[in-house]
Chains A and B, each alone.
Chain A
C-alpha cells in the first residue's frame, strides 16, 4: 500500500473538510461544487452570485498557487506534484468520451441536487439520508462503469 499518497489524501481531505466548515461558519452555505457553480451559471441569482463567483475563482486559482509554491509544497504534497511541478492530471479519454461524460455529470448532479462534495462531504457530515443514498448510488454506478469499461469492454488492464 502506498502510504505517502494515502497521507496526502488524508491531508487534502482535511483541507476540503475545513473549507466546507468555513463556508458554513461564514456564509451559512453547503460547500457543494455543482450547487454553487451550477446555480451561478444557470440561474445567476440576484444578490447571491458574488460569493459563488469568488468561490469559483478560488477553486480555479488553487492549483496555480500549488504550482507557484512548487518546490516548497513539493515536500508536503510529494507525489501529487510531479517533477515539473504539475498538479493537474491528464484527462482519461478524448473529446467524444468527455462530451458524453460531462453531459452525464452535469445532468446527473443537476437532477440529483449534488455531487461528491455536496452529498459526499457535506451531506454525510450532516448525516442526511438523501445524501447517503445519493453517495452510495453514484459510487456504485461509477464502480460498475469503470469495471465495464476496463474489464468487460477493455478485457482487463
Chain B
C-alpha cells in the first residue's frame, strides 16, 4: 500500500509540473530573468503549491500519525549553517544555468535529449559527492 501511495504522490506531482509548464526550462528561466521579458508563471506555481499544502498540512497534522506509517517524519533542525546556505547557493547557480531543478529534470526523462541525460548523470554524481563531504558537527 505504501508503494501505491508513493506512486500516486509522484504522479500527481509530475502532473502538476507538466500542467504548469515547469517541464519547460524556457518558462523557468523566463521567471528568473527579471531584466528580460519576465514570465510570472513560476510565482503562481509556487504560490498555489504552498497555499494548498499549508492548508493541507494543517488538516493532516490534526492526526497523530500518517495513515500508512508510524509517525510523521519532519526535519527538526532550526540552525542555519554553511552547508545549508552554501549548498542552496550552488543549487541556485545550477538552476539558473539550466532552468532545471531536480523535479522537472527527472520528470522530463520521457522526452530524453543528450543535454538532459548529461544533466541527470551529473546531478546524481553531485548527490554522491555531497554525501562524501562530511558534515561538521
Contacting pair A100 B122 (CB below 8 A):
yes
Interface size class of B (residues with CB under 8 A): 35 or more
Contacting pair B113 A91 (CB below 8 A):
yes
A83 within 8 A of B: no
Contact of A17 among B49, B94, B128 (CB under 8 A): B49
Contacting pair B29 A146 (CB below 8 A):
yes
Contacting pair B8 A101 (CB below 8 A):
no
* Nearest CB on B from A153, distance (A): 11
* Nearest CB on B from A62, distance (A): 3
The B interface, classified by DSSP as helix, strand, loop or mixed, is: helix
Contacting pair A129 B78 (CB below 8 A):
yes
A142 to B126 CA separation, bound complex (whole angstroms) = 18
A80 to B111 CA separation, bound complex (whole angstroms) = 15
A13-B48, A106-B124 known; A5+B41 contact, CB < 8 A: yes
User: What residues of chain A lie closer than 8 Å to B18, measured between beta carbons?
Assistant: 12, 62-63, 66, 77, 80, 87-88
A127 to B118 CA separation, bound complex (whole angstroms) = 35
A115 to B5 CA separation, bound complex (whole angstroms) = 22
User: What residues of chain A lie closer than 8 Å to B51, measured between beta carbons?
Assistant: 17
Contacting pair A125 B54 (CB below 8 A):
yes
User: What residues of chain A lie closer than 8 Å to B70, measured between beta carbons?
Assistant: 28
Contacting pair A22 B5 (CB below 8 A):
yes
A15 to B16 CA separation, bound complex (whole angstroms) = 5
Contact of B98 among A27, A41, A65, A91 (CB under 8 A): A91
A139 to B46 CA separation, bound complex (whole angstroms) = 12
Contacting pair A50 B6 (CB below 8 A):
yes
Interface residues of B in 121-137 (CB under 8 A from A): 121-131, 133
Contact of B6 among A18, A51, A73 (CB under 8 A): A51
Contact of A34 among B4, B116, B127 (CB under 8 A): B127
Contacting pair A24 B60 (CB below 8 A):
yes
Interface residues of chain B, those whose CB is within 8 Å of chain A, are 2-27, 29, 32-36, 39-54, 56-57, 59-60, 63, 65-75, 77-80, 83-103, 105-111, 113-116, 118-131, 133
Instruction: Provide 26 A-B residue pairs closer than 8 Å at the C-beta atoms, listed in order of the A residue.
Output: A9-B20, A10-B45, A16-B16, A16-B45, A19-B12, A28-B66, A42-B127, A51-B3, A54-B6, A61-B10, A61-B11, A63-B23, A88-B18, A92-B25, A98-B118, A98-B119, A99-B119, A100-B94, A103-B123, A108-B91, A112-B88, A113-B84, A129-B78, A130-B77, A130-B78, A142-B92
Given A55-B7, A137-B89: 8 more A-B contacts, CB < 8 Å? A22-B9, A22-B12, A26-B69, A87-B18, A100-B94, A103-B126, A105-B101, A134-B88
Return the 4 tightest CB-CB contacts between A and B, nearest first. A106-B126, A110-B130, A12-B20, A58-B10
